[in-house]
Amino acid sequence: MTRRATLRGEERTPLQEARADVLICGGSFAGLAVARELAGAGADVLVVDRYEIGERATSACAAPTDWLHAMGVRRAIRQELPCMAFHTPHGSARYRLPWSWSSFDYRELCHELWEQCDARFEIAKVASRGAPPEAVRTANYDITVLTDRGAISAPLIVDALGWRRVLGPGENVQPPDALISRGLEVHPHGGGVDLDCWIDRSVVRYGYAWSVPADGEQRVGVGSYEPRHHVKEPTKQMARRLDVDAVRYQGNWFPHALRPAAEDGVFFAGDSAGHCLPLSGEGIRTAFYFGIACGRELRAVLAGERTREQALAAYGAFSDEHAGAYRVMGRLQDWVPRVPPRALASLIALAGRRRPCSWAFTRYLGVAPPPETTGDLESRVPWRPSPTTSAGSSPA
């Protein structure tokens, strides 16, 4: 069971300092990427989360290795995975990728990110936005957020709270009616060398199953694009199939549609903005990518180079530039479960050949390419592959 370090009950006293220059709500991938980008800006940055940093993982924790290097989190890497294997009831294909995945330890990764920040942290559960002030006198007037430890206000607010989009206007995102997928996995002891993926309708009608090895641990899970379809039985079925124990469950919802990244004076990054990619359900590197972009805009405001409204507009437009790529992946997500299984097996085998594999995965990484160095996000154009991904692939 996850050890619970979070303050409870009477220990959750009202916050001492209820104002900051930047308030980042959510201390996971997106929130920490924003905070890291603000290090050295000379601002009072406050990160709040309902749990301790790194306490609760909700992901298989695999990301492109180049991204983990760029974020300075090498210590967290557990296993590098240069190949993916795709399995259908009618055959399997093994792909050698033009870049590698790495599985990592969530707690360690969060701690490594936090070491690179100079922000304050408080445990608090965010409930909603406070009422807007009666008279708005300045361009960067404070916005108030209500938490279980009192109200906190700041002129710059980031919602990195995940799929629920707590600080969005109107109702929070609610399954099963939202454009959202669901995922569940188990973490038994185990092994493996590839990132395995099953597209098998006898396991999950609209979705896929995976196994991610992580140096002695095996993260076996199932994701369903149809939020009404439960994934517990399919996850147990996969564990039986792989002859591993169905132990240490963790699961969550993850979005498969973009939402406005700037709305009502608030910046949204990661799952709260729907930045998780449709089809693959990959949302860690996109949380980093958009978190960095958000952090840069906030920095420009803090430096007096932009107003908050200008930064919101620029960040919202940057996120929107990626809408085409998300649309394509969304269509693939709708299409793949409808392809006749034998045809799908043939397509998967064809796509695994060196050239199509290199082309497809280079473009896929190019949706949110890793910065060459931690300081360079010049390659902001959607679909433009990063130079670090140009190494050719070889047949597996």
Ligand X SMILES: Cc1cc2nc3c(=O)[nH]c(=O)nc-3n(C[C@H](O)[C@H](O)[C@H](O)COP(=O)(O)OP(=O)(O)OC[C@H]3O[C@@H](n4cnc5c(N)ncnc54)[C@H](O)[C@@H]3O)c2cc1C
| Binding piece for ligand X, criterion CB under 6 A, among 66-74, 84-92, 168-176, 281-289 | 281-289
Please say which residue, 21 or 55, places its beta carbon nearer to ligand X.
55
Pick the piece of the chain touching ligand X (CB under 6 A) from 74-82, 133-141, 151-159, 283-291: 283-291
Question: Alpha carbon of 341 to those of 223, 328, 338: distances in Å?
Answer: 18, 21, 8
Interface characters, 40-59, with ligand X (x: CB under 6 A): ---------xxx----x-xx
Rule CB under 6 A: say whether 73 interacts with ligand X. Answer: no
**Nearer Cβ to ligand X, position 111 or 125?**
125
Chosen residue from 252, 310, 374, 379 binding ligand X by CB under 6 A: 252
Residue with tokens 């002695």: 216
CB of 24 to ligand X, least distance (A): 10
The answer to whether 352 contacts ligand X (rule: CB under 6 A) is: no
Per rule CB under 6 A, is residue 217 in the interface with ligand X? no
Question: CB 115 → ligand X: shortest distance, Å?
Answer: 17
The verdict on 194 binding ligand X (CB under 6 A) reads no
**Look-up of token digits 């969530």:** 106
Asked if residue 207 binds ligand X (CB under 6 A), the reply is no
Select from 221, 234, 330, 352 the one that contacts ligand X (CB under 6 A): 221
Q: Which is nearer to ligand X, 298 or 345 (CB)?
A: 298
Sheet holding 126-129, edge to edge: 126-129, 143-147, 150-154
Residues linked to residue 176 through DSSP beta bridges, in sequence order = none
Fill in the per-residue mask, 142 to 171: x = in contact with ligand X (CB under 6 A), - = not in contact. ------------------xxx---x-----
Q: Are 184 and 190 in contact (CB under 8 A)?
A: no
Counting contacts by CB under 6 A, is residue 186 touching ligand X?
Answer: no
For residue 282, what are the CA distances in angstroms to 59, 62, 170, 271, 340? 10, 9, 27, 10, 25
Regarding 125 and contact with ligand X (CB under 6 A), the answer is yes
Q: Can residue 12 be called a binding residue for ligand X (CB under 6 A)?
A: no
Total residues binding ligand X (CB under 6 A) = 38
Of 99, 193, 102, whose CA–CA distance to 392 is shortest? Answer: 99
Tokens linked to 153: 């206000």
Whether residue 256 contacts residue 332, with contact meaning beta carbons closer than 8 Å, is answered with no
Q: Is 101:64 a contact under the CB 8 Å cutoff?
A: yes
Closest CA to 336 of 327, 344, 324: 344
* Residues 80-119 as x/- pattern, contact with ligand X by CB under 6 A: ----------------------------------------
Q: How far lies 243's CA from each of 86, 148, 275, 371, in Å?
A: 19, 44, 34, 39
Rounded distance between C-alpha atoms, residue 114 and residue 24, angstroms: 13
The residues that touch ligand X, with contacts defined as CB under 6 A, are: 26-31, 49-51, 56, 58-63, 125-126, 160-162, 166, 183-185, 221, 251-252, 254, 270-271, 276, 281-285, 287
